[in-house]
């Protein structure tokens, strides 16, 4: 583990005790990164907490010859996010890459979705991205002002649910859409400090997806290519977390199996200008005319 595109770099991965985060942490270490493995150790719905998952992955990295430390703090709190960055600096003397991945689900149809379930999911996903980014960027800004401009990378975890919507996941979809917007703003604001910020929208078999998408998440019985294995997503994450992706920032990538897609997001479609204020009827007539020549939106996941 002493050579690779992340040799000499220190990476932090949140939610790295299982699933995608674990795969990312192992892949980063395999490419030479020293890794801070963060995981609160909660159940799929966010209940409970245990240090075991983070420690187990850190131990696994070390058993493979890499360098890693565990961090079991809650990154959706000021204290947890600050200690996450501090752990990297204390253990390895630097921070180069932040991979935000922590999250859980509390799926309900919109009319059955309680306020607590909304707040909990938005908190862990959106706030759990914002606070680590803010603390990491504060460190990189200080480095830049001290004349040591870093080659820093942030990889955020969005979702197809945040790009297209997902039936029964209003809280999750809203949080993931917020993460995409956060990524775009962070990329624009932090470039001056040597930071590149990108996001992925992965599709893989994890604790969060195996129940919802059981029919499409099964391991191939014939032993063939497992398109839904979380390890398939990690190579892109490793590249985005390395110096090799110079010049790539403010981008969103879908990743599943062997497929990588650059998402192009919102862009202006058909437009009609008018020299004066329209009446409601005129506005409606114009809107219908524009919709008639506009591209149809992609369907919401789960919609019939």
Quote the distance between the C-alpha of residue 288 and its chain's center.
Answer: 36
Per the structure, the count of domains in the chain is: 1
Annotated catalytic residue within 172, 193, 234, 301: 172
Task: Answer yes or no: 127 catalytic.
Answer: no
Q: Is residue 302 part of a domain?
A: no
Asked if residue 210 is part of any domain, the answer here is yes
Pairing of strands 252-256, 259-263: antiparallel
CA–CA dist 97, 179 (Å, integer): 17
Specify the pairing of strand 97-99 against strand 10-13: parallel
139 inside domain = yes
The answer to whether the Cα torsion of 94, 96, 101, 103 is positive or negative is positive
Residue 299 forms part of a structural domain:
no
Confidence category of residue 272, pLDDT binned at 50, 70, 90: very high
Reply yes or no on whether the pLDDT at 304 is more than 80. Answer: no
**DSSP character at residue 211:** T
pLDDT in tens, 225-262: 788 899 999 999 999 999 999 999 999 999 999 999 99
**Within a domain: 144:** yes
The verdict on whether 301 is a catalytic residue reads no
Task: Give the integer Cα–Cα distance in Å for 303 and 120.
Answer: 25
pLDDT confidence tier of residue 217, bands split at 50, 70 and 90:
low
Share of the chain above pLDDT 90, in %: 85
Compute the average pLDDT of residues 15-28: 97
Decide if pLDDT at 131 tops 90: yes
Vertex 28: Cα angle to 22 and 174 (nearest 5) = 55
292 located within any domain:
no
- CATH code where residue 84 lies: 3.40.50.720
Print the domain residue range for 62: 10-263
- Between the two ends of the chain, the Cα-to-Cα distance in Å is 48
Q: Which residues lie across from 35 on neighbouring strands? A: 11, 68
Assess if residue 279 is contained within a domain. Answer: no
* Per-residue pLDDT reduced to its tens digit, 277-292: 999 999 999 999 999 9
Computed over every residue of the chain, the mean pLDDT equals: 93
Query: What mean pLDDT comes out for the span 150-156?
Result: 98
Closest CA to 88 of 63, 66, 69: 69
Q: Is residue 231, in this structure, part of any structural domain at all?
A: yes
Q: Which of 159, 166, 234, 242 is catalytic?
A: 159
Cβ partners under 8 Å of residue 123, min gap 6: 76
> Coil, strand, or helix at residue 263?
strand
For residue 206, the model assigns a pLDDT of: 66
Query: In the chain, which residue ranges form alpha helices assigned H by DSSP?
Result: 19-30, 52-63, 78-92, 115-122, 128-145, 160-164, 170-190, 234-240, 280-293
User: Per-residue confidence at 221, pLDDT binned at 50, 70, 90?
Assistant: low
């Amino acid at each position: 583990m002493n050579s690779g595109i992340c040799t000499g770099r220190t990476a932090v991965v949140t939610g790295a005790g299982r699933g995608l985060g674990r795969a990312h942490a192992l892949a980063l270490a395999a490419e030479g990164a020293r890794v801070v493995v963060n995981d609160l150790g909660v159940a799929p719905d966010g209940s409970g907490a245990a240090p075991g998952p983070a420690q187990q992955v850190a131990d696994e990295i070390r058993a493979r010859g890499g360098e890693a430390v565990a961090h079991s703090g809650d990154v959706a709190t000021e204290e947890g996010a600050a200690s996450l960055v501090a752990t990297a600096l204390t253990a390895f003397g630097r921070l180069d890459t932040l991979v935000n991945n922590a999250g859980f689900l509390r799926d309900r149809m919109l009319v059955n979705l309680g306020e607590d379930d909304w707040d909990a999911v938005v908190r862990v996903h959106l706030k759990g991205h914002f606070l680590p980014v803010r603390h990491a960027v504060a460190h990189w800004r200080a480095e830049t002002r001290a004349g040591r401009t870093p080659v820093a990378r942030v990889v955020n975890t969005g979702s197809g649910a945040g790009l297209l919507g997902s039936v029964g996941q209003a809280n999750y979809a809203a949080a993931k859409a917020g993460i995409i917007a956060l990524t775009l703003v962070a990329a624009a604001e932090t470039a001056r400090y040597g930071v590149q910020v990108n996001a992925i929208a992965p599709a893989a078999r994890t604790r969060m997806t195996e129940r919802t998408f059981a029919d499409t998440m099964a391991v191939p019985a014939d032993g063939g290519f497992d398109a839904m294995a979380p390890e398939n997503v990690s190579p892109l994450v490793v590249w985005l977390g390395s110096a090799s992706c110079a010049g790539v920032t403010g981008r969103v990538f879908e990743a599943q199996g062997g497929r990588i897609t650059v998402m192009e997001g919102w862009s202006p479609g058909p437009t009609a200008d008018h020299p004066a204020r329209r009446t409601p009827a005129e506005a409606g007539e114009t809107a219908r005319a524009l919709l008639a020549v506009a591209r149809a939106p992609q369907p919401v996941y789960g919609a019939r």
